[in-house]
Chains A and B, each alone.
Chain A
Amino acid sequence: MTAALQVQDLNRSFGALNVTRDVTMTLERGARCALIGPNGAGKTTLVNLITGVLRPSSGTVLLNGEDITALSQAVRARRGLARTFQINQLFRGLSVLENICMAIGERDGENNNMWRSAGAKRSVIDEALDHLDSLRLVDDALRLVRELPYGRQRLVEIAIALAQKPRVLLLDEPAAGVPSSESHLILDVVANLDPDIAVLIIEHDMDVVFRFAREIVVLVQGAVFTQGTPKEIMSNEDVRAVYLGQEGHDAVQRGGRHG
């Protein structure tokens, strides 16, 4: 069976700075993979390369076995590659329902229609409401996104990506900035995603990573440092050194400031 997503020898440099170096990784169908690594490791850059926001300097990206390296972001999205953003990218002046309908409309090509009224296709609205239902957002359906509390906006961020009916879903720190009292809402959604979707999640919270992921890729300075099952990663001394080194560094800085 072909993998849902394959990244081969991916490189990207900005001038002399190599932010992605020879990254090779595979997401099987239904994968639950976590991408971790210290700040500045190039995690978001990798997502941008996979989704087509950025073009790689070299290397290939395969979606269901097809080479999509030369395709635009929009074409990749229509072929089943969806993402969420680390910082919300929502249609803030529109209602929650309209946000979801937007994604469905683009997926179905409905948004090319200039003549029919946007509300005329009941199936689109019903599907959007089903998505909202499963994320318990129906009561907010008619509220403008910008009026929602941040945690709920984060849910809409995921709901839009799910409405694309993706085969591969990239979640860029889905719970970032959400108060801990609300983060369980988002983590529940992440834990209950359709088992057929291959999911790559970027996350800093190790509890989330170990609860969610069946495999972990550790990225350090743009290159794959190591990859394996959560158990392997947890017991890997080198990974600890990377993280402890980071934390040790922070602790020293903190100590220095106070002392």
Chain B
Amino acid sequence: MAANDPTGAQSAIVTPVRDAAATAARDRAAEYLVSRHRFRWAEALPWLACIAVFFLFPDRLTFGSQVLVMVLFALSLDLILGYAGIVTLGQAAFFGIGAYTVGLGAARLGWTEPVSGLFAAFFVAALAGFISGWFLLRYRGLTLLMLTLATAIMMQEAGNLGSEFSGGYDGLPGLVFDPLLGRFEYDLYGRTNYVYALVVLAVVFYFVRRIVYSPFGQALTGIRENVRRMHAIGSPVHWRLVTVYTIAAGIAGVAGALFTQTNAYVTLTVFDFENSAKVMVMLILGGTGRLYGAFLGAAVYMIMEDYFSKLSPTFWQFGIGLLLVLAVLFARRGVLGLFEQFGAYFTKEKSKGAKP
């Protein structure tokens, strides 16, 4: 592949006289861009941790799959907020649409096959994302924040008005889904669900990773960094934003569908403002604009919520609030940013030691 081709090809094409130092500077710069998307071993850590949880905490796997669902949800928000800079408080709309696509499919249409349900949820949520994004993404900032918030509330109210069909706030309890791939029954400990959620997360993560490191992903970062310049260099900004908003809506829909399938029930609370806000807090906690920020943030938030609510069932939100304040004060780039700082510190110390 051309990308892996060493420096030889380039110096053969570009002939102008250039001294060795300049050529080296060029190669170093090119190498950075060429190798940036490559797999790094540190990336294996979160996935290994997920596998370890399966064996180490066999009685907490139901909770574990809820964490994975939220990671997926946070990932969808990271794509639009962290990379494209779209500030939204309505991501729960698409999570809810996905959740209800699968829920209503099973309860009303008898569509109980889980994997095809995920695909259906993706397309329905993506369609909703495309339509609402086409109208809303002309706006930015606070206006967009309010409009996306309104979208989620409208979805919730629509569900409430049609409560005979949707089940309203009582929800659709006791949904039954087919065994996974026709073979794996859902067990009491949630082992099937955990593996199912982990595999779905890994597949979606792979796609998101490709998008983020692609030229399209770079263009999204450009829109976040300076939208005026993007217009000036000829970028179809609105199209780019609608495209990524649609994809992110689809992913949020998959997360919602997994939520319904792993819980075997769904109520209108999935559309709650709290759900949109929570996923944003997770992302900020973990670190926006970085792939594993969603991973870390969702995990830290969910585990802390679990811990604090056991510690004090009435005041657990105080703990979460304190965590967020600490993150904003001392870890502006999220928990992941903290790790990176430590990492940079230690590599500096090491190189100091090597060259005294």
Interface residues of A (CB under 8 A from B): 51, 53, 72-78, 82-83, 85, 89-95, 97-98, 101-103, 105-107, 110-122, 125-126, 129-130, 133, 138-139, 141-142, 160, 164
Q: Which of A105, A110, A117, A141 is the one whose CB lies under 8 Å from B25?
A: A141
Q: Mark B27-45, 1 if CB is under 8 A from A, else 0.
A: 0111011111100000000
Given contacts A92-B226, A94-B225, A129-B30, 6 further A-B contacts (CB under 8 A): A91-B221, A102-B230, A105-B218, A117-B210, A125-B29, A138-B29
Interface membership of B187, Cβ < 8 A: no
Q: Mark B207-243, 1 if CB is under 8 A from A, else 0.
A: 0001101111111011001101111111111000000
Could you tell me if A118 and B14 are in contact, using CB atoms closer than 8 angstroms? no
Residues of B within 8 A of A85 (CB): 228-229, 232
A93 to B222, CA, bound (A): 9
A126 to B3, CA, bound (A): 12
A142 to B210, CA, bound (A): 22
Interface centre among B29, B222, B237, by most chain A C-beta atoms within 10 angstroms, is B29
Q: Check A118/B213 contact, CB under 8 A, given A89-B228, A126-B14, A129-B30.
A: yes
Residues of B within 8 A of A92 (CB): 225-226
Q: Which of A74, A94, A115 is the one whose CB lies under 8 Å from B237?
A: A74
Could you tell me if B211 and A114 are in contact, using CB atoms closer than 8 angstroms? yes
Could you tell me if B228 and A114 are in contact, using CB atoms closer than 8 angstroms? no
Q: Check A91/B225 contact, CB under 8 A, given A51-B232, A138-B22.
A: yes
Could you tell me if A126 and B221 are in contact, using CB atoms closer than 8 angstroms? no
Residues of B within 8 A of A75 (CB): 234
Interface centre among B28, B35, B232, by most chain A C-beta atoms within 10 angstroms, is B232
A139 to B14, CA, bound (A): 18
Residues of B within 8 A of A90 (CB): 225-226, 229
Interface membership of B20, Cβ < 8 A: no
Residues of B within 8 A of A120 (CB): 1-3, 34
A9 to B336, CA, bound (A): 56
Residues of B within 8 A of A53 (CB): 231
Could you tell me if A113 and B29 are in contact, using CB atoms closer than 8 angstroms? no
What are 26 residue pairs bridging A and B, where the CB atoms are less than 8 Å apart in the complex? A72-B231, A73-B232, A74-B237, A76-B234, A77-B231, A78-B234, A85-B229, A90-B229, A94-B225, A97-B33, A101-B218, A102-B233, A106-B235, A111-B219, A114-B217, A117-B36, A118-B37, A120-B3, A121-B2, A122-B30, A122-B34, A133-B18, A138-B25, A142-B28, A142-B29, A164-B233
A82 to B232, CA, bound (A): 7
Could you tell me if A118 and B215 are in contact, using CB atoms closer than 8 angstroms? yes
Question: What distance in Å separates the Cβ of B293 from its nearest Cβ neighbour in chain A?
Answer: 15
Residues of A within 8 A of B233 (CB): 77, 82, 102-103, 106-107, 160, 164
Q: Mark B275-318, 1 if CB is under 8 A from A, else 0.
A: 00000000000000000000000000000000000000000000
Could you tell me if A74 and B231 are in contact, using CB atoms closer than 8 angstroms? yes
Interface centre among B210, B214, B233, by most chain A C-beta atoms within 10 angstroms, is B233
Could you tell me if B216 and A114 are in contact, using CB atoms closer than 8 angstroms? yes
Question: What distance in Å separates the Cβ of B128 from its nearest Cβ neighbour in chain A?
Answer: 21
A104 to B346, CA, bound (A): 37
Residues of B within 8 A of A93 (CB): 221, 225
Residues of A within 8 A of B140 (CB): none
A158 to B225, CA, bound (A): 18
Question: What distance in Å separates the Cβ of A164 from its nearest Cβ neighbour in chain B?
Answer: 6
Question: What distance in Å separates the Cβ of B266 from its nearest Cβ neighbour in chain A?
Answer: 31
A113 to B212, CA, bound (A): 11
Interface membership of B10, Cβ < 8 A: yes
